[in-house]
Amino acid sequence: MSAQIRPVLAGNWKMNGVASSLSELSEIVEGHARFPDVDLVVCLPATLLSRAQPLVTDSGVAIGGQDCHADAAGAHTGDISADMLVDAGATCVIVGHSERRADHNETSETVARKATAAWAAGLKAIICIGETRSEREAGETLDVLSAQIAGSVPVEATAANTLVAYEPVWAIGTGLTPTAADVGVAHAHIRAELTRKLGDAAMTVPLLYGGSVKSSNAAELMAVDDVNGALVGGASLKAADFLAIAAVFGKI
């Protein structure tokens, strides 16, 4: 982990949560005071954002969306714009998650347009990249990451508007996790590719690791160079689990 980049722990609730679930967010807010050196972000279903906003005001915990449309407005039934997320209280948004790429056939070009739309609305973009199991087994991991960075990360990306999350698709929700050495190779490659594209601005862009992160492996993952935090799925749904990871981050 780079000492010059504050650790970021981002939670992705995915398609989970109703109003009663916000009690978990309240517990996260209360627990954050114990870890002032860790930035906590919880990306909620859009239906919960406006109700969550009062809970996080002046707390140091941020809330975000899980996707946004590339257009600012228009005839896109069922979609949500970046401006709508801001209006509901979000300060960031995930774009390009592997589940969006797979379930909705999102291309890297679409992801880049969504990131640009997020910035225009004043949101930070958490841009996700990562290889599938078949790509990994074929030895294509680094080529896939290079292609996704080239296509998904606009040249205007900076630490002020962007985080990049490496999520090996085969590790998401499976309980499988790459070795620390594998994560180190991937993150070093991502940093190098970002530097080639963005120049010196890339050196302070937080790189998050995602894929079956839990308190039992967080210390090992956070000790890897160029791992500046984590994007957590299932473990973010329960405050106790999420804060247990934050506790590990707070000790590093």
Active-site option among 24, 167, 187, 193: 167
Q: Is 69 a catalytic residue?
A: no
CA distances from 206 to 2, 27, 71, 118, 230 (A): 9, 25, 26, 17, 10
Q: Look up residue 28 and give its DSSP letter.
A: H
Task: Give the Cα separation of 10 and 57 in Å (integer).
Answer: 17
Taking a C-beta distance cutoff of 8 angstroms, is the pair 63, 41 a contact? yes
Alpha helices in the chain (DSSP H): 22-32, 46-56, 82-88, 98-103, 108-121, 133-137, 141-152, 180-198, 215-222, 239-251
Instruction: Name residue 14's amino acid.
Output: K
Count Cα atoms within 13 angstroms, Cβ side, for 161: 19
Taking a C-beta distance cutoff of 8 angstroms, is the pair 233, 245 a contact? no
Q: Is 189 a catalytic residue?
A: no
Q: Look up residue 12 and give its DSSP letter.
A: E
Q: Hey, what are 123's tokens?
A: 């949101």
Task: Give the Cα separation of 162 and 50 in Å (integer).
Answer: 23
Active-site option among 69, 97, 187, 189: 97
Q: Hey, what are 139's tokens?
A: 């030895």
Which of 220, 115, 197, 130 lies closest to 170 in space, CA to CA?
130
Residues belonging to the active site:
97, 167
